[in-house]
């Protein structure tokens, strides 16, 4: 893939309450793009529209010029995959069988997974560090481990673009780091990742670019240090935020985003 | 693919557990084949059992003679070939159809408490049969009417759900329950109108299910539908895993969920309608068998579906053999499956939630 183009995407559950009001942006291969924004700004809906779970009511999604919105589901799943937020299964499939389901777009209607599919699933489980839990029932795993299994499922899908809906939720710091480093490494090999998150710090640390969403619109789009400013974040989240900088030979580098507590002068920490 | 060569951050005994996994799979395979073969020895035993005792030698003679095209030589041989054999085949086919369709319905509704009647097939079929018995008194016509009304009920449930926001599982469930109660009420109306001395007992017995009227003529349609439908479900068995994740996840994984669900609902309903048309309303098999299957081989539909087909066949054969061979008076199958099925389900529930392969 070379480029994912999203042009004027619109979606509403009720006509008088639009969730997405004309979202446009582009993602190039090798990029890790973080989508930030307050609760209810439309991050999950955007991902559901991009991956074909919902049919967009306006706009287009183009991957190297091919329109994904009017494509057969199976073909689209080769181009774009989704790791959703919820992580429950009605039946206690093993972690390995869950990861294996990422292979669905690569298999015909009547086919069952073969050796190559098992290899892809096992490799994906290894990439998120869960090989030792392969045989365990999915619903006996911890919330974080389930998260990792669904991420492995997304990796096993081997789509050009992978959308991850809050992959850092439920994960301990080590696993957040593992998952995001894996994502960055995969992106450098020619894939692209869109990650929705509530952690501006993760965007700062691992992101190539940040999209800031507010009420169904893109309000900022650019490199993390440019988008993640105190003014921009305070306005987007409706809460005062500050950026902690690190000085290195006179050059300042943003290292962390923190909320400002009432009565505490944040500047004391410098 | 290059990304598979990425450094792995936690290789902790991965190879050991994979070897363990392979060993487990090998053990599981033997159990799987034993379960799949189970109906064969049971059928041979059932052929010899009954109120009229027949030796194994006579039984094999009869079957052998039939295979080379010779007519039956004795009354015992006629009994084996004309009464017991078609009945045993019907029990196997109906059990397989109910077990398999139950597993498929539970899969797409991602709910282990669903059975084949979730979309009102059985209720519709019951009404069709009751109406035909009231109007004509003819059993073959009742069978046909059951088949048609069963499918009509599912169609109604599907269209009803479709009119209100698509094929979402919850809408489909609600619509199915509504259609089921509607046809249940119509059946009650037919019963009220029926003559309590002649028509009502016929209707009641039909609704309780039984295979005592089965002849060779009942079998071709049942065989065709169960064979084709079972094969189609088997071919789609891995897709059922993906569908059971729910519409959204399955759609993101590249499945055309609406078309897949329509196909599986259609096939599973055909199976159930054909089974009910021949055997009457036989409850519990579609609910209990997939549970038992999950306990024995786990929730993966690649194993669960074939095992549900064979376990359903074996279960109904055992129940029907008990029904015709043990009690002095033939007991309706629907009664027997309930009496045996409920304790079985309780035992299964005691065996634990995770063991049963489903959540809470």
Instruction: For residue A117, give the 3-state DSSP assignment.
Output: helix
Note whether B245 contacts A: Cβ–Cβ < 8 A: yes
Q: Say how far apart CA B199 and CA B6 lie, in whole Å.
A: 74
Most B CBs within 10 Å, among A83, A104, A129, to test the B interface: A104
Task: List CB contacts (< 8 A) between A77 and chain B.
Answer: 252-254
Q: Is A178 on the interface with B (CB under 8 A)?
A: yes
**Chain B residues with beta carbon closer than 8 angstroms to that of A89:** 244-245, 359
pLDDT of B345 higher than 80: no
Give A-chain residues touching B6 at CB under 8 angstroms.
Answer: 127, 182, 185-186
Class of domain A3-224: alpha beta
Q: Which residue of A has its CA nearest to B7?
A: A127
Q: What percent of chain B has pLDDT over 70?
A: 88
Contact across the interface for A89 and B244, Cβ inside 8 Å: yes
For residue A62, what pLDDT is reported?
93
The residue in chain B having the minimum alpha-carbon distance to the alpha carbon of residue A178 is: B9
CA B324 – CA B309 distance, rounded (Å):
23
- Classify residue B161: in a domain, yes or no: yes
Interchain CB contact of B228 with A (< 8 Å): no
What average pLDDT score do residues B249-253 get? 91
CATH of the domain at B219: 1.10.3470.10
Q: Which of A71-85, A244-258, B46-60 has the lowest mean pLDDT?
A: B46-60
Q: Does B3 touch chain A (CB under 8 A)?
A: yes
What distance in Å separates the CA atoms of residue A168 and residue A148, rounded to the nearest whole number? 10
If one counts the domains in chain B, the total is 1
Q: What is the pLDDT of residues A10-60, one digit of tens each?
A: 999 998 899 999 999 999 999 999 999 999 899 999 999 999 888 899 999
Q: How far apart (Å, rounded) are the C-alpha atoms in residues B60 and B43?
A: 12
What pLDDT is stored for residue B296 in this prediction?
A: 86
Residue B355 has pLDDT above 70, yes or no: no
Q: Does a structural domain hold residue B222?
A: yes
Supply φ then ψ for residue A247, to 5 degrees. Answer: -100, 130
Who has greater pLDDT, A73 or B50?
A: A73
Which tens digit of pLDDT belongs to each residue from B17-54? 556 566 666 667 888 899 999 999 999 888 888 877 77
Rounded CA-CA distance B23/B148 in Å is 48
Q: Is the pLDDT of residue B229 over 80?
A: yes
Domain containing B102 equals 78-350
- Scanning B293-312 for CB atoms below 8 A from A yields 294, 298-300, 302
Domain membership of residue B320 (yes or no) is: yes
- Mutation pick from A90, A115, A146 vs chain B, by most beta carbons of B within 10 Å, is A90
**pLDDT higher than threshold 60 for residue B113:** yes
B231 falls in which pLDDT band (50, 70, 90)? very high
Residue at token pair 């994960």:
A171
Helix, strand, coil tally for chain A in percent (to 5): 40, 30, 30
A171: closest CA among A239, A242, A87, A103?
A: A87
The region that residue A52 occupies, defined by phi over 0 for left and psi between -120 and 50 for alpha, beta otherwise, is left
Domain residue limits, chain A: 3-224
Per the listing, tokens 């030796």 go with B55
The pLDDT score that the predictor gives to residue B14 is 43
Give the confidence band of B359 by pLDDT, cuts at 50, 70, 90: very low
Q: Shortest CB distance from A74 goes to which of B1, B14, B254?
A: B254
Rg (C-alpha) for chain A, rounded Å, is 19
Residues of B in contact with A158 (CB under 8 A): 1
pLDDT at position B155 is: 92
Q: Do A131 and B110 touch (CB under 8 A)?
A: no
- Tell whether A30 lies on the interface with B, counting CB pairs under 8 A: no
């Amino acid at each position: 893939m070379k480029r994912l183009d999203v042009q004027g995407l619109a979606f509403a559950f009720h006509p008088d309450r639009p969730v997405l009001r004309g979202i446009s942006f582009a993602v190039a291969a090798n990029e890790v793009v973080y989508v930030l924004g307050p609760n209810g700004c439309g991050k999950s809906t955007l991902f559901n529209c991009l991956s074909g779970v919902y049919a967009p009511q306006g706009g287009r999604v183009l991957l190297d010029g091919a329109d994904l919105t009017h494509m057969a589901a199976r073909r689209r799943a080769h181009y774009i995959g989704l790791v959703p937020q919820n992580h429950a299964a009605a039946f206690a499939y093993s972690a390995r069988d869950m990861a294996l389901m990422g292979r669905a777009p690569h298999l015909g209607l009547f086919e069952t997974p073969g050796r190559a599919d098992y290899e892809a699933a096992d490799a994906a489980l290894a990439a998120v560090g869960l090989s030792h839990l392969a045989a365990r029932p999915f619903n006996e795993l911890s919330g974080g481990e389930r998260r990792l299994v669904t991420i492995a499922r997304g990796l096993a899908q081997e789509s050009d673009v992978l959308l991850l809906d809050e992959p850092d939720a439920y994960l301990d710091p080590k696993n957040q780091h593992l998952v995001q480093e894996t994502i960055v490494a995969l992106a450098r090999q020619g894939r692209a990742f869109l990650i929705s998150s509530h952690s501006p710090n993760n965007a700062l640390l691992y992101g190539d670019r940040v999209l800031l969403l507010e009420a169904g619109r893109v309000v900022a789009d650019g490199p993390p240090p440019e988008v993640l400013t105190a003014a921009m974040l305070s306005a987007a989240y409706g809460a005062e935020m500050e950026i902690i900088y690190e000085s290195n030979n006179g050059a300042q580098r943003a290292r962390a985003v923190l909320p400002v507590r009432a009565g505490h002068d944040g500047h004391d920490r410098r | 693919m290059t990304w598979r060569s990425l450094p792995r951050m936690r290789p902790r005994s991965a190879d050991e557990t994979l070897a363990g996994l392979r060993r487990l799979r090998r053990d599981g395979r033997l159990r799987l084949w034993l379960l799949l073969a189970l109906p064969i020895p049971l059928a041979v035993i059932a052929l010899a059992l009954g109120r009229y005792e027949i030796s194994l030698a006579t039984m094999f003679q009869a079957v052998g003679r039939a295979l080379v095209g010779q007519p039956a030589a004795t009354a015992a041989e006629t009994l084996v070939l004309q009464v017991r054999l078609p009945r045993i085949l019907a029990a196997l086919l109906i059990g397989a159809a109910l077990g398999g369709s139950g597993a498929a319905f539970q899969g797409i509704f991602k709910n282990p408490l669903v059975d084949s009647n979730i979309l009102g097939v059985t209720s519709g079929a019951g009404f069709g049969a009751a109406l035909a018995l009231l109007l004509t008194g003819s059993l073959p016509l009742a069978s046909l009417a059951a088949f048609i009304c069963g499918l009509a009920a599912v169609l109604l449930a599907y269209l009803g759900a479709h009119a209100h926001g698509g094929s979402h599982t919850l809408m489909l469930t609600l619509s199915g329950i509504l259609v089921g109660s509607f046809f249940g009420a119509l059946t009650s109306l037919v019963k009220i109108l029926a003559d309590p001395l002649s028509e009502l007992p016929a209707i009641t017995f039909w609704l309780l299910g039984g295979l005592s009227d089965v002849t060779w003529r009942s079998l071709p349609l049942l065989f065709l539908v169960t064979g084709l439908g079972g094969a189609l479900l088997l071919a789609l068995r891995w897709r059922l895993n993906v569908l059971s994740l729910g519409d959204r996840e399955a759609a993101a994984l590249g499945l055309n969920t609406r078309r897949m669900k329509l196909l599986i609902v259609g096939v599973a309903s055909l199976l159930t309608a054909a089974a009910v048309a021949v055997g009457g309303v036989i409850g519990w098999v579609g609910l209990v068998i997939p549970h038992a299957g999950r306990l024995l081989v786990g929730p993966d539909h690649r194993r669960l579906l074939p095992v549900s087909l064979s376990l359903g066949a074996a279960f109904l054969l055992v129940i029907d053999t008990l029904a015709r061979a043990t009690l002095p008076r033939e007991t309706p199958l629907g009664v027997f499956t309930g009496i045996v099925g409920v304790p079985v389900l309780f035992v299964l529930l005691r065996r634990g939630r995770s063991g049963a392969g489903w959540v809470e």
